[in-house]
Structure 1
Amino acid sequence: MCVIVQAQVQVTVELEKDRFLPRETLPVRVKVVNFSGQTLVFGEDNEWLQFQVETETGEEIPPITDPPPVKGRFTVESSIRATKEIDISPYYALEQAGRYLLTAKVYIRQWGKQISTKAVKFDVSNGAVLWEQAFGLPLENGDPSGQPRQIRRYVLQQAKRLKAMSLYARVDDGPGGKVHRVMPVCSMVSFNTPKAQVDPKGNLHVLCQSGGREYTYSVIDPDGQIKVRRQYLIASDRPRLDFRDGNIVVVGGFKLTRPDDLPSKKKGGEEPEPIIVPENKPRPIPKIKPPVPVPTTNSPRR
């Protein structure tokens, strides 16, 4: 029966690259293709999709929290492919350098069967630290002014991403402390060191030369979210970070406009549609019979 189910429903797991920094954002895409001739329903609970992470020696890496939340009902009609994307980095402590194997398991509730994907391999390797600085989190509204601030740390690292050198930012609680987020900031050239400053609100400002004449300016908040992204071109002088009127700003260079600028320049705050949109109104799950083997017929002898 398992072979028959896998022939009628194909499930694959994909990564956008095969090399990551420790605790870097790790988006996983699970693709489901339905060839059964029937409409299938997924996402009724958090059990329909599960992940398994192992070391190259077969040691399983257990989740550090509850498994990734995957609930969200959707249907896949026959001959249709659906894709579910989720970042699994907050749920697995992938801090040790080495090779890992990732497997996804999809449970088809109507048939009472589970399908496992082929494992994909990826490597976790340490990047070169270029800059780091500890900072105090700003006080929240209502906090007493004399209260000690929580300390976090920004770390800039360089590593290869998709065969090109890239700059990464890491937000943690200091050496050996909790890692809040690790994410790529921009591509970078090897002959110019990025410049970084932390403003009074605890935001990290980074100016990095990302091409022969191009610079990328980014602002990252204490939670590791990129709030501002702008591109600058070398004009009569090079862009540089400066402190004016209590704010960190970019002076010099020529400011460009790009589709990936942050905040987005799209009209009305348009957002890209998610790959899968769960249906708002619950509907009864259709009664679907499990696939049955097609009887083989013996060809007549000559």
Structure 2
Amino acid sequence: MRHIFILWLALAAAAPAQFDVQVRMERDVFLLYESLPVSVVLRNYSGRPLAINTAAESWLQFFITDDAGRQVPAVRALHLDEPLVIGPGQTVTRTVDLLPLYDLRQRGSYRLQGRVTHAGTTRLSPPVTFTIQEGRELWRQVAGLPGSDEYRLYSLIVRRALNEEILYVGVQDPEKKLVYGMLPLGAVLPTGDPQARVDPAGRVHVLYHTQPRSYGYVCVDGRAQFVDRAVYSDLLAKPRLVAAADGTVRVEGGEKTWPRVTSPPPNESPAPAPPAPAKPKKKWWWPFGPNEPRPPKLPAS
């Protein structure tokens, strides 16, 4: 019996890991230099936990080919040091941005597959396709960053989707030829070009028409990070970007609908309610006080 149990353990250890891998992208069309997030979905079909050694560089790989069948080379190694343990019958998802990892700097159509290796077993995902395209530039301006010799090239670019246009803010370093980001702002109405201004801090402010009676506002810094976001309505007045005498940029007009402006709480607690007035004392008609004997009543005649 003991030999049978040892043989069963050996067969279980030698059995191939039962898992499956899929790759998914939230959409199939991206703007040039836009982030390319891909979700890697792993499912454990076995009856025991699956612990993947994420420190190994070869546990997760991507194979990307262009429309001519040429493989896209990697420009940086993938590092996912977070432990990955998948329980029996469970599914986990990890998201990876392909843009800084592979040479995806040209427009065209691409084919993507993911490969996961664990305990000598390799699984290859079904392929997905995506397209990188260039947009239409609406505005650009070079601005210097205060306190440094660096410059930023800010741009507004529109990408045509099925039934709408998507607005992007691009942040680049023209001297070093670096792209810090291509940030999608959302759908924009073709009723007029968005407004854009750069403040003395080297940040760009953008006001754009998102839908009838609604305007979006963003402030983006030199590292392609959102500093502020808001939504305005033109119900009472049309919002617009204005610059003060010192160069600071603000939104004038309109009504801020998001985030809601709330009044700050009072600094002092409210004063306690005044005490209730004391009940008036009972008045005695007998002038000598309540404890003095009263005169007897006269008999009725």
TM-score range, shorter chain: 0.7 to 0.9
Equivalent residue, structure 2, for 1:228: 228
Contact in 2 for aligned 1:50/1:105 (Cα 8 Å)? yes
Q: Structure 1 residue 74: deviation in Å?
A: 2.1
Structure 2 residue 151 is matched with structure 1 residue 151? yes
Contact in 1 for aligned 2:54/2:80 (Cα 8 Å)? no
Equivalent residue, structure 2, for 1:31: 41
Contact in 2 for aligned 1:43/1:72 (Cα 8 Å)? no
Residues 94 and 175 from structure 1, CA distance in 2 versus in 1: closer, same or farther, beyond 3 angstroms?
A: farther
Residues 31 and 199 from structure 1, CA distance in 2 versus in 1: closer, same or farther, beyond 3 angstroms?
A: same
CA deviations over 1:149-193 (Å, ceiling 9, x no partner): 222201110013575311011111239922221120222011221
Q: Structure 1 residue 258: deviation in Å?
A: 5.0
Residues 47 and 258 from structure 1, CA distance in 2 versus in 1: closer, same or farther, beyond 3 angstroms?
A: farther
Q: Which runs of 5+ in 2 are unaligned?
A: 1-14, 262-301
Equivalent residue, structure 2, for 1:186: 186
Aligned ranges for residues 249-288 of structure 1 at < 5 Å? 249-258=250-259
- Give the Cα–Cα distance (whole angstroms) in 1 for the partners of residues 152 and 210 of structure 2: 27
Residues 163 and 74 from structure 1, CA distance in 2 versus in 1: closer, same or farther, beyond 3 angstroms?
A: farther
Aligned ranges for residues 116-135 of structure 1 at < 5 Å? 116-135=124-143
Secondary structure of the corresponding residue to residue 100 of structure 2: helix
Aligned ranges for residues 189-200 of structure 1 at < 5 Å? 189-200=189-200
Secondary structure of the corresponding residue to residue 211 of structure 2: coil
Letter in 1 for 2:60: L
- Give the Cα–Cα distance (whole angstroms) in 2 for the partners of residues 161 and 70 of structure 1: 33
Contact in 1 for aligned 2:109/2:130 (Cα 8 Å)? yes
Contact in 2 for aligned 1:49/1:70 (Cα 8 Å)? no
CA deviations over 1:114-167 (Å, ceiling 9, x no partner): 211112100011100000011112215xxxxxxxx2222011100135753110
Equivalent residue, structure 2, for 1:80: 90
- Give the Cα–Cα distance (whole angstroms) in 2 for the partners of residues 113 and 253 of structure 1: 60
Contact in 1 for aligned 2:197/2:205 (Cα 8 Å)? yes
Q: Which runs of 5+ in 1 are unaligned?
A: 141-148, 262-302
**Residue from 72, 75, 79 that aligns with 1:61:** 72
Structure 2 residue 28 is matched with structure 1 residue 18? yes
Q: Which has the larger radius of gyration?
A: 2
Contact in 2 for aligned 1:43/1:70 (Cα 8 Å)? no
Highest RCO, 1 vs 2 (Cα 8 Å, sep ≥ 6): 1
**Residue from 102, 121, 126 that aligns with 1:92:** 102
- Give the Cα–Cα distance (whole angstroms) in 2 for the partners of residues 61 and 113 of structure 1: 25
- Give the Cα–Cα distance (whole angstroms) in 2 for the partners of residues 124 and 176 of structure 1: 23
Letter in 1 for 2:43: V
- Give the Cα–Cα distance (whole angstroms) in 1 for the partners of residues 207 and 91 of structure 2: 41
Kindly report structure 1 stretches of 4+ aligned residues shifted beyond 6 Å.
Answer: none
Equivalent residue, structure 2, for 1:114: 122
- Give the Cα–Cα distance (whole angstroms) in 1 for the partners of residues 123 and 96 of structure 2: 18
- Give the Cα–Cα distance (whole angstroms) in 1 for the partners of residues 95 and 88 of structure 2: 21
Contact in 2 for aligned 1:23/1:93 (Cα 8 Å)? no
**Residue from 110, 114, 117 that aligns with 1:104:** 114
Letter in 1 for 2:199: D
Contact in 2 for aligned 1:68/1:88 (Cα 8 Å)? no
Q: Structure 1 residue 236: deviation in Å?
A: 1.8
Letter in 2 for 1:184: P
